[in-house]
Amino acid sequence: MTIQLDEKLDPIYRDVLRRNPGELEFHQAVREVLETLGPVLVKYPEFAEKKIIQRICEPERQIIFRIPWQDDTGEIQINRGFRVQFNSALGPYKGGMRFHPSVYLGIIKFLGFEQIFKNALTGMPIGGGKGGSDFDPKGKSDSEVMRFCQSLMTELYRSLGEYTDVPAGDIGVGGREIGYMFGQYKRIVNRYESGVFTGKGLNWGGSLVRTEATGYGTVFFVNEMLKTRGDSLDGKTVVVSGSGNVAIYAIEKCVELGAKVIACSDSAGFIVDENGLDLNLIKRIKEVERRRIKVYADEVKHARYIEGNNIWSLPCQVALPCATQNELNGKDAALLVKNGCIAVAEGANMPTTPEGIQIFQAAKIAYGPGKAANAGGVATSALEMQQNASRDSWTFEYTEKRLQDIMVGIHRNVYETSEEFGMPGNYVAGANIYGFIKVARAMTAMGLI
């Protein structure tokens, strides 16, 4: 059952469908936001008058380009690159680069659109953007990845800048890829512009805690949601999907806060370790050896590996989807609720389908959408930019405290907004409305932009 759109918003949504055919994930992300904005237009009719929503749904600029490169056998490969510069009302475009074979314009636009509101929620001076390529890093050598990144940057450099557009990592893009892209940027512009990328290495302008930030932030957020219900993560059983950057550091912080994480996954299957996952082993398998999560069950005899994406059938009290979009559907959500799940926080972007979200909300469990729950990553990117601008570097403890304060603040603002608009505890509405109003006010102040 789909939620009816407000009569002012329905034509806007239909226009988005008409103007962006075939971009299903973008449609889904826009619809989820529009479903919550009805009461905002009642309270602030000037936003409707000034067509703020229509303007926000249209990216300021979209760049699509050819990335030719040569593989190790000498064969020429051609990929497609994207950078969608969605909204710069609050600051330079900011958002990650995703390398995955599924990437097409509809995915980059959904991610860029979400990023506008997420970045507004952080309270930091950053606008929204996203980029990527249909390049598949799996099975590629280091030199292939380097040549690909150099070719990508040979085109994209002209669109970036510390005051213009600041990329970072996402799926398939970590420290290695940021290094290759930053290196090529530096070479072309002949300037050491640290603030043009975040997620840099620690000895060349990176920030402590950036690697951990998204996963840690998601766990801080879920803990805040539990606190509003007089509860905490201590002693909880947790299931985390994915085993990449976000998943690994979500697991780490869960354990630090006294929870037991029994499962994680990759796109082929999932592992279950009822004693609690051995995180050092996971880090070795994924971060050092870049192998499949299946290897865990070869090394830990009491652990099980199960093929497929049925991870949400495992009973748990807290579920943290940290892999990819639409990885948790209505059936999964119903099963989680039935099995006693009380809280879900999204480390990934849009991992829960619209049906799944409705089921969580109807069951009144604590459900934190990605744009609030995973905002710690980009918030710490903004802290990296701050350190770069002042040519300073902060300690781990200080930076983590800043991250935690930001997540507590996001939770508070989102919760209070949900109360103000008569939907207490609806974090979807709270996040969308708070982020939207902030951007809408800035756009209004700046005239017709």
Using CB under 6 A, which of 151, 198, 329, 418 touches ligand 2IT?
198
The contact mask relative to ligand 2IT for 123-162 (x = CB under 6 A, - = no) is ----------------------------------------
Is residue 138 packed enough to be buried (19+ CB in 10 Å), middle (13-18) or exposed (0-12)? exposed
Nearer to ligand NDP, 92 or 269 (CB): 269
For residue 266, the partner it binds in ligand NDP, ligand 2IT, none, with Cβ less than 5 to 8 A by kind, is: ligand NDP
Catalytic residue among 94, 118, 130, 438: 130
Does 387 contact ligand 2IT by CB under 6 A? no
Residue 154: both structure tokens together: 């040979």
- Report the nearest approach of ligand NDP to the CB of residue 44 (Å): 29
- Report the nearest approach of ligand NDP to the CB of residue 60 (Å): 21
Q: Site residues for ligand NDP, window 366-385 (CB under 6 A)?
A: 374, 377
The contact mask relative to ligand 2IT for 58-97 (x = CB under 6 A, - = no) is ------------------------------------xxx-
Does 170 contact ligand 2IT by CB under 6 A? yes
> Is 94 a residue of the active site?
no
- Report the nearest approach of ligand 2IT to the CB of residue 106 (Å): 16
The position carrying tokens 């994480």 is 261
- Report the nearest approach of ligand 2IT to the CB of residue 320 (Å): 15
For residue 267, the partner it binds in ligand NDP, ligand 2IT, none, with Cβ less than 5 to 8 A by kind, is: ligand NDP
Using CB under 6 A, which of 244, 356, 368, 369 touches ligand NDP?
244
Using CB under 6 A, which of 378, 383, 407, 429 touches ligand 2IT?
378
Nearer to ligand 2IT, 6 or 193 (CB): 193
Residue 348: both structure tokens together: 């990934």
Size of site (CB under 6 A) for ligand 2IT: 11
Residue 26: both structure tokens together: 């973008």
Q: Site residues for ligand NDP, window 156-185 (CB under 6 A)?
A: 169-172
Does 214 contact ligand NDP by CB under 6 A? yes
Q: Which residues bind ligand 2IT (CB under 6 A)?
A: 94-96, 118, 168, 170, 198, 349, 377-378, 381
Q: Which residues are catalytic?
A: 130
